[in-house]
């Protein structure tokens, strides 16, 4: 941790979807800045890999398995975080799925419910129990991961995903108004393509993906998970004390 500012020193942070991609980058970034991080998700193996990376850098973390579509498991996750680290100061709700592309009339009920249950209900349940704890214990900060697809941009074949992520944006801003006076600051980050497997098309090689994004994005490349993590840390930090109900789009000017 040498050389890192420790703006979250001693703070307890919960990151859902922390086993891979953006969630892993976010968890590692908080730990580098002094936080004690609960890394949550459904796959114990990848969660433990994230914890090992954090510990190798001198940080403190714990892997907690939970399915965010289950109220009982989310409630237990918040309780487990508090027991492990003595509180909950910051929550980053990052769990999400990207259903197979399909026109609206061709989306199956299973695909629709899977997208909404995970991407929207999972965020709502996470906030419900995180905020309930925070407002009784001095407040805190919540950052939800939405998407530029949804409230900011639409694309053919992504109806279920767009609907779920647009709803996350609206829910975030409504929750921010509901709970500002409770001492809980709530914001969202809406990434565009990020350099993770989720942004790759089926069968696409890294070289093909890079070439496609050079043409599709004004920036000419995907964002890195670390760039998204930096934005999340800012929104959760004291430097963003007056930032409430924001939805920060990070998509290489795709929606500019």
Quote the longest CA-to-CA distance of the chain: 54
- What is the chain's alpha carbon radius of gyration, rounded to the nearest angstrom? 17
Residue 135 to residue 124: CA distance in whole angstroms: 16
Which of 85, 95, 188, 175 is closest to 128 using CA atoms? 175
* Given the residues 81, 94, 161, 163, the one annotated as active site: 161
Question: What is the chain's length?
Answer: 256
**161 in active site:** yes
For Cα atoms 46, 109, 103, give the angle at the middle one, nearest 5 degrees. 95
Integer Cα distance of 37 and 91 in angstroms: 10
The residues annotated as belonging to the active site are: 161
């Amino acid at each position: 941790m040498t050389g890192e500012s420790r703006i979250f020193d001693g703070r307890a942070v919960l990151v859902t979807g922390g086993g891979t991609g953006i969630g892993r980058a976010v968890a590692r970034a908080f730990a580098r800045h002094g936080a004690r991080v609960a890394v949550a998700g459904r796959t114990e193996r990848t969660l433990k890999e994230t914890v090992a990376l954090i510990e190798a850098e001198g940080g403190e973390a714990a892997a907690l398995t939970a399915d965010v579509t289950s109220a009982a498991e989310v409630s237990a996750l918040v309780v487990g975080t508090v027991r492990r680290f003595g509180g909950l100061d910051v929550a980053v709700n990052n769990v999400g799925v990207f259903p197979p592309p399909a026109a609206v009339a061709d989306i199956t009920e299973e695909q629709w419910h899977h997208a909404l249950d995970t991407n929207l209900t999972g965020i709502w349940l996470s906030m419900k129990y995180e905020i309930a704890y925070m407002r009784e214990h001095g407040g805190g900060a919540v950052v939800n991961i939405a998407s530029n697809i949804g409230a900011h941009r639409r694309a053919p074949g992504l109806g279920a995903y767009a609907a779920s992520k647009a709803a996350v944006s609206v829910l975030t801003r409504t929750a921010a108004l509901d709970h500002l006076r409770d001492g809980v600051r709530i914001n969202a980050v809406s990434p565009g393509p990020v350099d993770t497997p989720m942004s790759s098309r089926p069968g696409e090689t890294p070289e093909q993906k890079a070439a496609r994004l050079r043409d599709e994005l004004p920036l000419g490349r995907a964002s890195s998970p670390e760039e998204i993590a930096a934005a999340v840390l800012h929104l959760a930090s004291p430097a963003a004390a007056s930032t409430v109900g924001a939805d920060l789009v990070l998509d290489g000017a795709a929606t500019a």
